[in-house]
């Protein structure tokens, strides 16, 4: 079965998911063609694409930008038509907004009988008026939607223009065996130092300012707590400026910002607790990796995160307020036995429900179901 994957990944999670699909499912039943744009890819992704070619994945580069550029987008659309007509795929699978629009509309123009699946990876864009208009337009060109979890599927079902479309749940998942090999042996929690972390861009989506407000709230009452942000400022994001202003007004001795790192797992593995305080997520690889390592997570009850965190079992879901987060930290860490049970439950839940084998099996079934519809 020949499948075109069209992706213009704007974040690390989408890139990781696409690479997992190509590397895990390619070479056997499924023959993949990757259509990508390096204008939105980092150097690590470029290296991974080169590796895929060595494994036999056919690749095409098109210039797709984040913002609308009429002439450039039309060029990419006509490139995509040529690719579809040349490759004659059995299925097209598009990831993220711009590739989702070009791939669905112009994929169907190139070959109306070819099914086209769409993985939005984040529903928040659908709430913006211009995206809503585009999605209503794209619905007739969409054979099915792929949600990253049950919570995202529920969100899709609230939108009237998506209700008639088949919605499949395929969680991206993690290689739990590989991730658990990274677990750092640690002594009993609650000793002389507790390391609390967060990971990602310092940006509005991650609700980064809340993390630093929690650190400020606990600086003097919990002197053995250290707070580490794994990542760097996003200079174009207003929340980065808010965080800089907050830290300038409130110098904190218990906070470290690592700056950009190539391999966040090397830092995550050393945490005692992860805070995932995002305003929205699609799946949340950072949360998944932490849980697979046995690191409890305290997060906000948003789409994606609430699929991974079982409240009171492997972490806590809390309102986005500093005192709620600090109270959850106290509750988690006040009794070592409780923490150890949460840690064990985290590893078990990930191995049973979110291992990479689950994604491979689920997505394979979806792909096969469309093979006969062409």
82 and 205 assigned to the same domain: no
Which one, of 135, 83, 141, 94, lies nearest residue 113 by Cα?
141
315 and 367 assigned to the same domain: no
Whole-angstrom Cα distance, residue 63 to residue 300?
A: 36
Q: Which of 88-92, 151-155, 177-181, 246-250 has the least mean pLDDT?
A: 177-181
Is pLDDT above 70 for 374?
no
Q: Tell me what pLDDT residue 155 has.
A: 87
Is pLDDT above 90 for 248?
yes
Q: Which two tokens stand for residue 193?
A: 């130092």
Most confident of 231-235, 272-276, 369-373: 272-276
195 and 100 assigned to the same domain: no
* 237 Cβ contact list (under 8 Å, min separation 6): 201, 202, 203, 204
Q: Tell me what pLDDT residue 161 has.
A: 82
Q: Sorting pLDDT into bands at 50, 70 and 90, what band is 361?
A: very high
130 and 236 assigned to the same domain: no
Count the domains in the chain: 2
Whole-angstrom Cα distance, residue 296 to residue 83?
A: 45
Q: Tell me what pLDDT residue 45 has.
A: 77
List helix spans (H) across the chain: 12-25, 43-54, 70-87, 97-110, 129-138, 150-156, 176-180, 208-218, 238-249, 265-268, 285-292, 305-308, 322-333, 336-353, 356-371
Query: Can you tell me the mean pLDDT for 309-314?
Result: 97
The more confidently predicted of residues 124 and 158 is 158
* 354 Cβ contact list (under 8 Å, min separation 6): 171, 173, 174, 176, 288, 292, 308
**In this structure, what CATH number is given to the domain that contains residue 167?**
3.40.50.2000
Task: Give residue for tokens 């795929």.
Answer: 89
Please state, for a pLDDT cut of 90, what percent of the chain lies above it: 68
169 and 210 assigned to the same domain: no
Side by side, the strands of the sheet bearing 297-299 are 255-257, 225-230, 194-199, 273-276, 297-299, 315-317
275 and 134 assigned to the same domain: no
Q: Sorting pLDDT into bands at 50, 70 and 90, what band is 135?
A: confident
193 and 322 assigned to the same domain: yes
Query: Can you tell me the mean pLDDT for 224-253?
Result: 95
Q: Tens digits of per-residue pLDDT, 263-278?
A: 899 999 999 999 999 9
Whole-angstrom Cα distance, residue 257 to residue 108?
A: 46
77 and 166 assigned to the same domain: yes
Q: Are the CB atoms for 14 and 34 separated by under 8 Å?
A: no
Domain range for residue 15? 2-173+355-371
Q: Tens digits of per-residue pLDDT, 51-69?
A: 888 888 999 999 887 677 8
The more confidently predicted of residues 125 and 180 is 180
Query: Can you tell me the mean pLDDT for 89-111?
Result: 94
Q: Tell me what pLDDT residue 91 has.
A: 97
213 and 283 assigned to the same domain: yes
* Mean predicted lDDT score pLDDT of the chain: 90
Is pLDDT above 70 for 8?
yes
209 and 126 assigned to the same domain: no
320 and 359 assigned to the same domain: no
SS (H, E, C) 188-233: CCCCCCEEEEEECCECCCCCHHHHHHHHHHHCCCCCCEEEEEECCE
163 and 185 assigned to the same domain: no
Give the burial string for 155-165 (b: 16+ CB within 10 Å, else e): bbeebeebeeb
Q: Are the CB atoms for 122 and 280 separated by under 8 Å?
A: yes
Q: Which two tokens stand for residue 306?
A: 């609430």
Q: How far is CA 351 from the centre of its chain?
A: 18
| Residues facing 95 on adjacent strands | 7, 119
Sort residue 47 into left (φ over 0), alpha (ψ -120 to 50) or beta. Answer: alpha
Phi (first) and psi of residue 145, to 5 degrees = -110, 145
Is pLDDT above 60 for 125?
no
Is pLDDT above 80 for 9?
no
Q: Sorting pLDDT into bands at 50, 70 and 90, what band is 187?
A: low
């Amino acid at each position: 079965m020949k499948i075109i994957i069209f992706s213009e990944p704007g974040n690390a999670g989408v890139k990781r998911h696409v690479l997992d699909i190509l590397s895990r499912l390619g070479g056997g039943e499924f023959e993949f063609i990757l259509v990508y744009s390096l204008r939105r890819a980092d150097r690590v992704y470029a290296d991974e694409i080169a590796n895929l070619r060595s494994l036999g994945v056919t690749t095409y580069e098109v210039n797709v930008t984040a913002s609308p550029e009429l002439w450039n987008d039309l060029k990419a659309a006509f490139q995509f038509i040529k690719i579809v007509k040349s490759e004659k795929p059995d299925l097209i699978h598009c990831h993220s907004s711009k590739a989702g629009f070009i791939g669905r509309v112009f994929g169907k123009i190139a070959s109306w009988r070819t099914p086209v699946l769409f993985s939005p990876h984040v529903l928040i864009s659908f709430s913006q008026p211009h995206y809503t208009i585009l999605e209503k337009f794209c619905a007739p060109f969409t054979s099915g939607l792929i949600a990253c979890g049950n919570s995202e599927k529920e969100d899709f079902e609230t939108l009237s223009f998506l209700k008639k479309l088949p919605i499949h749940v395929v969680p991206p998942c993690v290689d739990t065996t590989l991730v658990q090999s990274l677990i750092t042996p640690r002594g009993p929690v609650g000793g002389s130092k507790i390391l609390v972390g967060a990971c990602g861009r310092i940006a509005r989506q991650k609700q980064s300012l809340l993390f630093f407000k929690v650190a400020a709230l606990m600086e003097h009452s919990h002197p053995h707590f250290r707070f580490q942000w794994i990542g760097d400022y996003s200079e174009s994001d207003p929340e980065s400026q808010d965080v800089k202003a907050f830290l300038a007004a409130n110098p904190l001795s218990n906070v470290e910002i690592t700056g950009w790192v190539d391999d966040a797992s090397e830092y995550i593995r050393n945490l005692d607790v992860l805070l995932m305080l995002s305003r929205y997520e699609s799946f949340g690889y950072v949360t998944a990796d932490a849980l697979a390592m046995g690191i409890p997570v305290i997060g906000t009850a948003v789409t994606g995160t609430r699929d991974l965190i079982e409240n009171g079992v492997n972490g806590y879901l809390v309102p986005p307020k500093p005192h709620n987060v600090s109270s959850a930290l106290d509750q988690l860490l006040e009794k070592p036995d409780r923490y150890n049970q949460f840690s064990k439950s985290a590893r078990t839940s990930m191995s049973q429900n979110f291992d990479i084998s689950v994604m491979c099996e689920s997505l394979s079934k979806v792909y096969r179901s469309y093979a006969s519809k062409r």
